[in-house]
């Protein structure tokens, strides 16, 4: 699976309703649901927690999420299509996004009640950054 395929899969989810802890595009997705659904659409069988851990006061084990999806941690800071980012959007909330370009992302927007594509918020602080492993 390529990063471009992951980005295209995420873009195909734009417009899906937002649903807290949603993991099914037919009934709604939250931010982790977008990541899981995009991976599933590209043929990756990823198991993510059925309930989001991103609302807790303490940080979730982001490495465990990455291990569950088979994604590799990125250290170079460069964002390419298909990358998954975890950002701190408030003191008590983390948010996952799928990159479709260096500055455009697909994510579940609770306020708009749907999956959207657009830029991230510059005030959001990066917590984690992962990429699909290179194709064999």
- 55-100 pLDDT tens trace: 554 455 566 667 777 777 887 789 999 999 988 888 778 889 999 9
Average pLDDT over the chain, rounded to an integer: 84
Give the model's pLDDT for residue 80: 94
Give the model's pLDDT for residue 61: 55
Beta strands in the chain (DSSP E): 23-24, 28-29, 72-73, 84-90, 93-101, 104-109, 114-118, 125-131
The pLDDT of residue 33 is above 80 = yes
Run of H or E residues at 39: helix 31-41
Give the model's pLDDT for residue 47: 67
Distance (Å, whole) CA 114 – CA 17? 4
Distance (Å, whole) CA 47 – CA 73? 18
Distance (Å, whole) CA 67 – CA 60? 13
Domain ranges of the chain: 3-131
Domain 3-131 coded CATH 3.90.1720.10 = yes
pTM: 0.87
Give the model's pLDDT for residue 63: 63
Distance (Å, whole) CA 52 – CA 93? 11
The pLDDT of residue 131 is above 80 = yes
Give the model's pLDDT for residue 82: 94
């Amino acid at each position: 699976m390529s990063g471009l395929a992951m980005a295209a899969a995420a873009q195909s989810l734009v417009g899906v309703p937002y649903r807290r802890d949603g993991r099914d595009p037919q009934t709604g997705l939250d931010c982790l649901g977008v990541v899981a659904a995009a991976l599933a659409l590209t043929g990756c069988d990823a198991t993510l927690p059925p309930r989001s851990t991103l609302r807790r006061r303490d940080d979730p084990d982001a490495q465990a999420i990455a291990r569950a999806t088979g994604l590799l941690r990125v250290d170079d800071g460069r964002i390419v299509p298909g990358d998954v980012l975890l950002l701190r959007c408030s003191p008590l909330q983390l948010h996952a996004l799928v990159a479709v370009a260096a500055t455009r992302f697909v994510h579940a927007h609770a306020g708009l009640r749907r999956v959207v594509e657009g830029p991230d918020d510059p005030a959001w602080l990066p917590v984690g950054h992962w990429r699909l492993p290179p194709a064999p």
